[in-house]
């Protein structure tokens, strides 16, 4: 049987969801025999490839790099899983939204730098411009499956991946599955 | 006009970064930089929130070392409550921090860097990751997974969950350790010790093979900064700040962490969201210093645990006393894992852990507090000011990785100059530049989601409304 092409992506978030993925612990050894990890911050492929079967997307869309990335991810993946609360609602990453224009925020944060006052990180092509508002991923591209949690506990991740490997995507219903935080 | 190469993204690190390498017309490296491309602005949006929420929010800065933020935040809260926390609570916090050091260091060594070290820097990039390691070195990979799991399970035993436990609070901790869980953890000590010792032997055997890398992976003298105990012992939770130079001579000692702004400054560059902290008396950028495992091993006189002390003696022999080569970060990390396991074993035997008084109850008794701990990657500062209701008016977070920013940039330039001679640049050479960064184990979730000192106009009011102090910055 063809091995499942699995990818993981990290947008604006804390990496806690990826750490929870690693909390699959020794089940990762079994997983490694059943999937090809074709793109991930844990791996060295630099471009998101075409023909991905399942992608776990952690984090919210906070800057132009994230926007470009998530559109490419959607176009090249069959099943996109919103992986964790930041991806689903914006969560902690979106806490900056009520403060308004990020340009002002950057001026506040970097304008007072002790060494070089008034220098705002902005180099084109290097430092991505912040979006005016942090967006959940479903506000940018369609999502196929929502896996909530801050982070989603490893046993929940395992159930989802086992279902996908068996060819039956799980229906996430009820309290245990729709629990945020 | 020369060429510019951008490595985007830098992979197998914890965070979003790029590396740019500028070549001159002859294809030689003119300059190279490490750019951090993430920004979240915690210091801005925490203003106005209750002090009591801060451990829960700031632990979300980072999913890799949430415990470090949890503890630094709770310690800043202790200061604001003006309490001495119950002794058992302090021991339990230490225990959790040691679990955190183990899981984070194991992640860095086994999950992220071992693919370079054991599969080879020149190996196929499609396989050069944890899954490739599982296939090629199943026993070592399983050991690394189980060692990280040991640290995570210790955290969960105390805090109820592995990631983002809401456990440490201003004044103490919410819960103790159940005797059954204590026994379960004790039962895992021998296995964890064996895994750490095996990894150390494997790493030492690799040193000859990586002689060239260890000479150019960020190998230059800088200062080193971190906490040490009263007698100069390795410390991770309390103590005072010591700074030594690249030859090991003490630059400053016994510094109160709460006065960090008198000896650490921060600079900004237009090409990174991460600020550049420096040792203030030496100026920018001469005040470059390093933090984290390499620094802690250079700063301490001893570990205070027998296995780690024996390893420290050998480490210093191999590294020439004060170690300036950043490749040894890996080595230092493994010795710290070993010492953390030894300390956990000691703490789990401590009858005081069973005490029921774990939290000092108090209200807002001071309007400012600084909490400091050694995160896996180095010294972490949480600095809060509050109003008389305990609402946050000011936050400054000085993150471990940020303090290595100057050194990481120098390392990138040093490695690029050594290995890259254009115009054709093999992937394996670019991977060496990345591997040099991986040695520092940067945690960019932390460093940029928090960078910055907010300019604020702060007035401190007494309870009757009179202005006690006014600060403009």
- State if pTM tops 0.80: yes
Alpha-carbon gap: B63 to the closest alpha carbon of chain A (Å) = 3
Q: What span, in angstroms and rounded, lies between the C-alpha atoms of B79 and B384?
A: 10
- Residue A12 covered by a domain: yes
Q: Say whether A62 and B39 touch across the interface (CB within 8 A).
A: yes
Q: Is the pLDDT of residue B466 over 70?
A: no
Q: Which residues contact B424 (CB under 8 A, 6 or more apart)?
A: none
Range(s) of the domain holding residue A146:
4-103+133-165
- Residue A122 covered by a domain: no
Q: What span, in angstroms and rounded, lies between the C-alpha atoms of A25 and B228?
A: 33
Q: What is the DSSP letter of B60?
A: G
**Under 8 Å between Cβ of A26 and B115:** no
What's the whole-number mean pLDDT along residues A23-41? 96
Q: What span, in angstroms and rounded, lies between the C-alpha atoms of B366 and B373?
A: 20
- Residue A119 covered by a domain: no
Q: Supply the mean pLDDT for chain B.
A: 91
- Residue A140 covered by a domain: yes
Longest dimension (CA), chain A: 60
Q: Which residues contact B162 (CB under 8 A, 6 or more apart)?
A: A19, A20, A23, A154, B152, B153, B155, B156
Q: Which residues contact B303 (CB under 8 A, 6 or more apart)?
A: B233, B234, B309, B312, B335, B339, B342
In total, the C-beta contacts within 8 angstroms joining chain A to chain B are: 206
What's the whole-number mean pLDDT along residues B427-436? 90
Q: What span, in angstroms and rounded, lies between the C-alpha atoms of B84 and B359?
A: 10
Task: Tell me what pLDDT residue B469 has.
Answer: 39
Give first-to-last CA distance, chain B, whole Å.
Answer: 42
The interface pTM score, or ipTM, of the predicted complex is 0.94
Q: Per the structure, how many domains does chain A have?
A: 1
Q: Identify which of B40, B128, B267 has the shortest CB distance to residue A44.
A: B128
Partner residues linked to A58 by β-bridges:
A10, A83
- Residue A126 covered by a domain: no
Contacts of A106 in chain B (CB under 8 A): 39
What's the whole-number mean pLDDT along residues B418-434? 88
The number of beta carbons lying within 10 Å of the beta carbon of residue B131 is 23
Contacts of B64 in chain A (CB under 8 A): 14-16, 19
Q: Say whether A19 and B35 touch across the interface (CB within 8 A).
A: no
pLDDT in tens, B245-301: 999 999 999 999 999 999 999 888 888 878 889 999 999 899 999 999 999 999 999
How far is Cα of residue B56 from the mean position of the Cα atoms in its chain? 19
Contacts of B16 in chain A (CB under 8 A): 10, 65
Q: What is the DSSP letter of B123?
A: S
- Residue A108 covered by a domain: no
Q: What span, in angstroms and rounded, lies between the C-alpha atoms of A125 and A122?
A: 9
- Residue A94 covered by a domain: yes
CATH number at residue A52: 3.40.50.700
* B458 or A50, higher pLDDT: A50
Q: Identify which of B7, B126, B149 has the shortest CB distance to residue A25.
A: B149
- Choose the mutation target among A126, A129, A131 for the interface with B, i.e. most B CBs under 10 Å: A126
Q: Is the pLDDT of residue B415 over 50?
A: yes
How far is Cα of residue B158 from the mean position of the Cα atoms in its chain? 21
**Under 8 Å between Cβ of B54 and B167:** no
Q: Say whether B63 and A46 touch across the interface (CB within 8 A).
A: no
Q: Identify which of A16, A102, A120 has the shortest CB distance to residue B66.
A: A16
- Residue A128 covered by a domain: no
Partner residues linked to B461 by β-bridges:
B467
Measured torsion, CA atoms of residues B113, B116, B119, B123, in degrees rounded to the nearest 10: 150
Q: Identify which of A42, A106, A123 has the shortest CB distance to residue B129.
A: A42
Longest dimension (CA), chain B: 71
């Amino acid at each position: 049987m063809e091995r499942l092409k699995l990818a993981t992506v990290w947008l604006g978030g804390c990496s806690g969801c990826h750490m929870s993925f690693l909390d699959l612990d020794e089940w990762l050894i079994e997983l490694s025999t059943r999937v090809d990890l074709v793109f991930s911050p844990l791996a060295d492929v630099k471009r998101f490839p075409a023909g991905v079967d399942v992608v776990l997307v952690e984090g919210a869309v906070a800057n132009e790099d994230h926007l470009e990335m998530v559109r490419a991810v959607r176009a090249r993946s069959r099943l996109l899983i919103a992986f964790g609360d930041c991806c689903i609602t914006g969560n902690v990453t979106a806490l900056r939204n009520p403060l308004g224009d990020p340009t002002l925020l950057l001026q506040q944060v970097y304008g007072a730098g002790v060494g070089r006052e008034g220098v705002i990180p902005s180099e084109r092509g290097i430092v991505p411009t912040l979006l005016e508002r942090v967006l959940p991923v479903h506000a940018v591209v369609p999502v196929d499956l929502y896996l909530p949690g801050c982070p989603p506990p490893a046993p929940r991740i395992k159930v989802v991946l086992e279902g996908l490997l068996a060819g039956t995507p799980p229906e996430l219903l009820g309290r245990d599955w729709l629990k945020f935080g | 006009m020369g060429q510019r190469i951008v490595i985007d993204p830098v992979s197998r690190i914890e965070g979003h970064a790029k590396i740019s390498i500028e070549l001159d017309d002859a294809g030689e490296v003119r300059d190279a930089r490490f750019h951090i491309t993430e920004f979240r602005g915690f210091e801005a949006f925490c203003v106005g929130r209750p002090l009591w929420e801060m451990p829960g929010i700031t632990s979300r800065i980072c999913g890799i070392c949430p415990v470090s933020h949890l503890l630094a935040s709770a310690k800043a809260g202790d200061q604001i409550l003006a309490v001495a926390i119950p002794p058992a609570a302090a021991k339990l916090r230490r225990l959790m921090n040691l679990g955190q050091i183990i899981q984070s260091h194991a992640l860095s060594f086994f999950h992220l860097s071992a693919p370079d070290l054991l599969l080879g820097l020149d190996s196929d990039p499609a396989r050069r990751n944890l899954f490739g390691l599982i296939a090629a070195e199943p026993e070592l990979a399983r050991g690394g997974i189980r060692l990280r799991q040991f640290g995570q399970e210790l955290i969960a035993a105390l805090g109820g969950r592995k990631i983002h436990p809401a456990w440490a609070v201003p004044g103490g901790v919410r819960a103790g350790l159940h005797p059954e869980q204590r026994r379960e953890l004790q039962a895992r000590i021998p296995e964890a010790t064996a895994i750490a010792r095996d990894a150390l032997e494997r790493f030492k055997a690799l040193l000859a093979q990586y002689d060239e890398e260890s000479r150019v992976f960020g190998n230059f003298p800088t200062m080193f900064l971190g906490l040490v105990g009263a007698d100069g012992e390795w410390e991770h939770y309390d103590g005072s700040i010591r700074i030594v130079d690249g030859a090991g001579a003490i630059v400053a000692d016994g510094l109160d962490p709460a006065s960090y702004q008198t000896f650490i400054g921060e600079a900004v560059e237009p090409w990174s969201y991460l600020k550049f902290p420096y040792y203030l008396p030496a100026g920018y950028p001469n005040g470059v210093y390093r933090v984290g495992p390499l620094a802690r091993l250079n700063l301490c006189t001893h570990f205070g645990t027998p296995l780690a002390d024996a390893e420290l003696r050998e480490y210093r022999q191999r590294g020439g006393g004060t170690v300036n080569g950043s490749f040894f970060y890996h080595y230092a990390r493994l010795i710290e894992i070993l010492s953390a396991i030894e300390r956990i074993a000691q703490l789990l035997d401590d009858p005081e852990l069973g005490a029921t008084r774990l939290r000092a109850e108090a209200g807002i008794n001071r309007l400012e507090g600084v909490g400091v701990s050694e995160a896996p990657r180095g010294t972490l500062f949480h600095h809060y000011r509050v109003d008389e209701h305990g609402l946050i008016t000011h936050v400054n977070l000085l993150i471990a990785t940020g303090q290595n920013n100057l050194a990481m940039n120098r390392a990138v330039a040093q490695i690029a100059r050594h290995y890259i001679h254009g115009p054709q640049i093999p992937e394996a050479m670019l991977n060496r530049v990345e591997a040099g960064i991986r040695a520092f184990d940067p945690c960019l979730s932390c460093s940029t989601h928090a960078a910055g000192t907010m300019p604020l106009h702060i007035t401190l009011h007494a309870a009757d409304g009179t202005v006690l102090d006014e600060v403009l910055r």
